[in-house]
Amino acid sequence: MEMIIAFSFSLMPDGAPGTYNHAIACQLAERLDAGLSKSEQSLVALQWEIADALEDSFPALSRTLHDEARLIVVKPPAFLPTDIDQARFVAQLENVGSDNSRVLADSINLAQGENTQQKLNFLLTDARLYERFQHLELDNLIRPEHGDLLSEYRKLPEVLSHADGLRRYQRIRVNRLIIESIVKDKEVLKRGQYLSTGGVVEQVCEDCKLRGQVFQDVQVIAHPLHLPRCIKQSQQTFISQGLNVNVSEAGLFTIPPWDDTGAQVWCRSLSNWLQYEEIVLRLMSKSGS
């Protein structure tokens, strides 16, 4: 069986897919609609930002892929039992005493679940949770060792922009950031893991094993400047997983204009991206990747 894997490229500060991921979703839809894949029943693996973009622009295709169990989405991270020190978590909410901590505590008490982890994961799926925290500033991801280049800026979505609530996966991303921005102690509540390109492929492999789905050929869709590394790291990850998989590009597409309003500073311009790639390739070389 063939698989198409699409890798995301940045996102917006409010968790929306953004220009690049909508372009990637368009390329995927065009490829599937035109029958350019080797099989009409190709598996399709996407990072969540592209899945939201696909549902925005091609809802019928997204629904078909879901219904036929051909869609694998690498989702924003849910809370694991090991992410939460439950006793200290509850105590911290009680002791902080801010309006936001009180609203979060009330929301947790009303959520379904037998323990704090289950209740928090229930809240992650609430499309309107963010509406209760409109004066909250989300914590940005700052890595000062490289200046501002590796920073990711976040903000709450505007209520008027989402009449039907947040997107299927955007809500998980935003709601976890809300909770982490209120409970700031990382020993009490671990931060969501940032997946590398290889980590995305590992997650796809794990999901396929759980589903009993086997694939031999993989076509990669990504931003053209991201594509070479996506192919290389996909090949390396499949080998490390003991899989004999043929990896190729699904075809280049026109690079969309650079968007300087995106969340990830390294994806805002060509010069930023080239500096970022130098850092990543240097780190990969040191680790032997």
CA–CA distance from 184 to each of 93, 94, 140, 158, 187 (Å)?
10, 14, 12, 23, 9
Reported in sequence order, the residue ranges of the chain that DSSP labels E, i.e. its strands, are 2-6, 43-47, 71-74, 217-221, 246-249
**Integer Cα distance of 241 and 7 in angstroms:** 19
Domains of the chain: 2-77+196-256 (3.40.50), 81-141+165-182 (no CATH)
Digit-by-digit pLDDT tens for the chain (289 residues) are 899 999 999 999 999 999 999 999 999 998 888 665 544 678 999 999 999 999 999 999 999 999 999 999 999 999 999 999 988 998 888 876 689 999 999 999 999 999 999 999 999 999 999 999 989 999 999 988 888 999 999 999 998 888 899 999 999 999 999 999 999 999 999 999 888 899 999 999 999 999 998 899 999 999 999 999 999 999 999 999 999 999 999 876 777 899 999 999 999 999 999 999 999 888 877 776 6
User: Which has the closest alpha carbon to 102: 90, 114, 113?
Assistant: 90
Q: How many CB atoms lie within 10 A of CB 248?
A: 11
Give the type of residue at 245: V
Cα–Cα distances in Å, from 16 out to 63, 139, 173, 226, 265? 19, 17, 10, 20, 16
State phi, psi for 222 to the nearest 5 degrees: -160, 165
Beta bridge partners, 217, equal 2, 246
pTM score, whole prediction: 0.94
User: Per the structure block, which two tokens stand in for 135?
Assistant: 């004066």
Distance separating alpha carbons of residues 267 and 252, to the nearest angstrom: 18
Cα distance between residue 104 and residue 218, in whole Å: 43
DSSP 3-state assignment of 283? Answer: helix
Residue 42 tokens, joined? 């190709």
